Amino acid sequence: SPASIPHPPGRIPILGDVRNSSPRRPIQDVMRFGKQLGPIFERKIFGRRIVFVSGADMVAELSDEARFAKYLSPAVARLRQIGGDGLFTAYNDEPNWRKAHNLLRPAFTQAAMRSYHQIMVDVARELVADWDTRTTVDVSADMTKLTLETIGRTGFSHPFDSFRRERLHPFVEAMVGALRHAQLRTFLSPPLVGELLWRRADKRNLDRIAFMNGVVDEVIRERREVGHTGPDDLLELMMRAARDDDPDRIDDVNIRHQVLTFLVAGHETTSGALSFAFYYLSQHPEILAKAQAEVDEVWGPDTGADPSFEQIAKLRHVRRVLDEALRMWPTAPIYGREAREDTTLVGRYPMRAGDGVLVSIPSLHRDPAWGPDADVFDPDRFLPARVKARPAHIYKPFGTGERACIGRQFALHEAVLVLGTILRRYDLEPDADYQLRVQERLTVMPDGFRLNLRRRRRS
């Protein structure tokens, strides 16, 4: 028989489940409600019902591509204002998804990663040149500079000159504003007459989107004028398909959506992942020391030589630090799944074809199947034997199935490279009184986290 789905206490007519919740921290609300209410619960916000799921058994079923597919959460649907039918925000039945997926897949092979390696090394060097002049750094801001620079140069051969600017590139400011607007618009939508109240904020948001589009148009214009040499990048794959009348070619409007999608998806989440990894390393001196010892052993001491492509994946412990940081704080914390046909989830929760649920990844990553210490940062969870001993579908930082993250290997290569580079060179100390605060803008990011750096002495 169908089971009822719990909801937070204190439901209010019309407004719904808005008590004890903050539109500025919806993910952390969902994590808290999940703890109180269990592996499935619903929230009604202004008449719209949203079901959140985090039970390992349920997520395992939702990973069955024969029964379920990607579902656009209300917040992601709002991002179509920015990404249109680009890869991230496309509905499953939109033809441009398959075309762009086919066109761009070659840019994410192992061979492609090899061709990006030197650019990633160069960007990491720019970070180091900057950090060498400082004793205290704003970690999230600098990781954002680094990851924006990396996707700009690898994907579009377009430098953003991030390390020559005191502040973040205005593209980032516009993007963060737009993500935050989509979040507030989803969780703080005053009913009916309230639409009027949004007018000014919506107008400002359109200005942000226009600004981002301007940046994208400049990237495309530059390519048309200057042309392209060197290995294929994302933009070249798309523009060549258009020139060659490839059956998978996409039009100018869609190219623009893809460029914008990659500029956003290609840097914001990796920046957060690196920032959380540095946070946890700074809190766990013994794990930090072990990671530094691994870098010294595998890469050798910091003589100024660049790590090779092969040397990145050899940092197994550093990689586990990153995996575990993404367990604690998966930086794209929600993905949606919808039923392809009428079905019943784990034999108890009926779903009609097209009904969607949202997977709360941070809650899944703390499911009891992780053991009693799921709140503790422990990279050794990702030792091969322990991974094998766990249920299959309880770790999903990159989503699932055909619509899972296309940039996963890209992000992992970049992030391990940067962690290795920094660990080899500096000792990291947090401000003694820093308490982790997590800032939300659909993605999650440590807020106000600074590190004190000291050059390591060569032994």
Please report the sign of the dihedral spanned by the C-alpha atoms of residue 108, residue 114, residue 119, residue 125.
Answer: positive
* Min dist. Cβ of residue 13 to ligand HEM (A): 32
Spatial separation of the C-alpha atoms in residues 298 and 69, rounded to whole Å: 41
| Residue 156 binding ligand HEM, by CB under 6 A | no
- The three-state secondary structure class of 22 is coil
Of 278, 382, 405, 421, the active-site residue reads 405
> To 10 degrees, what angle do helices 170-187 and 252-265 make?
90
Residue closer to ligand HEM (CB basis): 339 or 406: 406
Binding mask 304-343 for ligand HEM (x = CB under 6 A): --------------------------xxx--x--------
Q: Tell me whether residue 88 or residue 370 sits nearer to ligand HEM (CB atom).
A: 88
Q: Which parts of 157-267 fold into alpha helices (H)?
A: 170-187, 199-226, 234-243, 252-265
Q: Pattern 14-33, binding to ligand HEM, x per CB under 6 A?
A: --------------------
Q: Which of 269, 275, 292, 363: binder of ligand HEM (CB under 6 A)? A: 269
| Residue from 55, 84, 362, 399 binding ligand HEM (CB under 6 A) | 399
Q: What is the closest distance, in whole angstroms, from the C-beta atom of residue 269 to ligand HEM in the complex? A: 4
Q: Does 67 contact ligand HEM by CB under 6 A?
A: no
Q: Residues 156, 276, 377, 410: which binds ligand HEM (CB under 6 A)?
A: 410
Show the site string, 272-291: x = touches ligand HEM by CB under 6 A, - = not.
-x------------------
186 binds ligand HEM (CB under 6 A): no
443 contact partners, CB below 8 Å, separation of at least 6: 179, 268, 269, 272, 331, 332, 333
CB 325 within 8 A of CB 379: no
CA-CA distance, 454 to 401, in Å (whole number)?
43
Amino acid at 44: K
What is the distance between the alpha carbons of residues 127 and 188, in angstroms, rounded to a whole number?
38
Catalytic residue among 88, 187, 382, 398: 398
- Out of 7, 98, 101, 125, which residue is the one contacting ligand HEM (CB under 6 A)? 101
Residues 6 or more apart whose CB falls under 8 angstroms from that of 264 comprise 82, 83, 175, 179
- Assess whether 343 carries a catalytic annotation: no
Sheet holding 48-53, edge to edge: 40-45, 48-53, 356-360, 334-339, 68-71
* Residue (150 or 282) nearer to ligand HEM, CB: 150
The answer to whether the CB of 88 falls within 8 A of the CB of 179 is no
Residue 39 as a binder of ligand HEM (CB under 6 A): the answer is no
Concerning whether 88 is annotated as a catalytic residue, the answer is no
In this structure, how many other beta carbons lie within 10 angstroms of the beta carbon of residue 286? Answer: 7
Does the annotation count 211 as an active-site position?
A: no
Active site residues: 269, 398, 405
Residues binding ligand HEM (CB under 6 A): 70, 87-88, 101, 151, 261-262, 265-266, 269-270, 273, 330-332, 335, 397-399, 403-407, 410-411
